[in-house]
Amino acid sequence: MKKIYLLSFLALTACGGPRLPKQFDVNEVAWSKIPSSSKLIVRGYTINRYGKEKRCDSGGATYATLYPQSSYFDQWWKIETSGWHFTDTPSKLAQSYMKKAPLQRFCQFEFDNVAPGKWYLEMNMGYYSFSMYETYGSREEKTFKPRYGDLNDHYVHVTIIIDTTDEIKKTMIVYYPHKKGSPVEQLEWVEPHKDKKKDTNGMFEGN
């Protein structure tokens, strides 16, 4: 029975789902290599099933990826958002046109030298769920250190437009993994607060 499932899976991965074009046209993305002083700053957080904000600072997120719009990356966008991302990988030449930014505090990512145009943004908004309680028999007692549980691994895909007038573009991404329809929202930038009591967007220091 396991062999039948394996063969079925291999058959699906071989012929199902979107695939990347064989050729990558550098002329389509030449604009993305034009030197620019524009900077993109993105910050995000997830609203879990209980309506609480969760930042990805303590989760599985390590970096965000930005890639220029083109027929090749249009297809890659379809692959990434279709659930078939394991069936293909961008060529080394295509990867040289993709930008990566490491994770900073407050689930923030910063991209330098971003040329004006349409870009695709992919960011991991994963976070660890944890409990501040440990169970002793039938009783629950507080602990001083959180006990980490499962990793909620969420990849979010959004389009970003950089205008010629944008010196520093800031945007906030909010993701509702349990919301049907359009689970991703782009909001106006709000500076993160250091005081949890004053915070309204889950952007406080620590978890």
Q: What is the pLDDT of residues 31-84, one digit of tens each?
A: 999 999 999 999 998 888 888 888 887 667 788 999 999 999 999 988 888 766
Q: How far is 113 from 176, CA to CA, in rounded Å?
A: 30
> At 130, is the pLDDT very low, low, confident or very high (cuts 50, 70, 90)?
low
- For the chain, the domains span 40-198
pLDDT higher than 70, residue 203: no
Q: How far is 55 from 73, CA to CA, in rounded Å?
A: 28
Task: Answer whether 106's CB lies under 8 Å from 203's CB.
Answer: yes
Q: What percentage of the chain has pLDDT greater than the value 90?
A: 35
CA 205 to chain centre: 20
Q: What one-character-per-residue DSSP string does 117-148 give?
A: EEEEEEEE--EEEEEEEEEETTEEEEEEEEEE
Phi, psi torsion values for 44, nearest 5 degrees: -145, 160
Fold of the domain built from segment(s) 40-198 = Immunoglobulin-like (2.60.40)
Q: pTM for the full model?
A: 0.75
pLDDT higher than 70, residue 108: yes
Tens-digit pLDDT profile for residues 145-184: 445 567 777 888 899 999 988 889 999 999 998 888 889 9
Give the pLDDT mean for 89-110. 92
Q: Is the dihedral of CA 51, 57, 62, 63 positive or negative?
A: positive
Task: Answer whether 169's CB lies under 8 Å from 41's CB.
Answer: yes
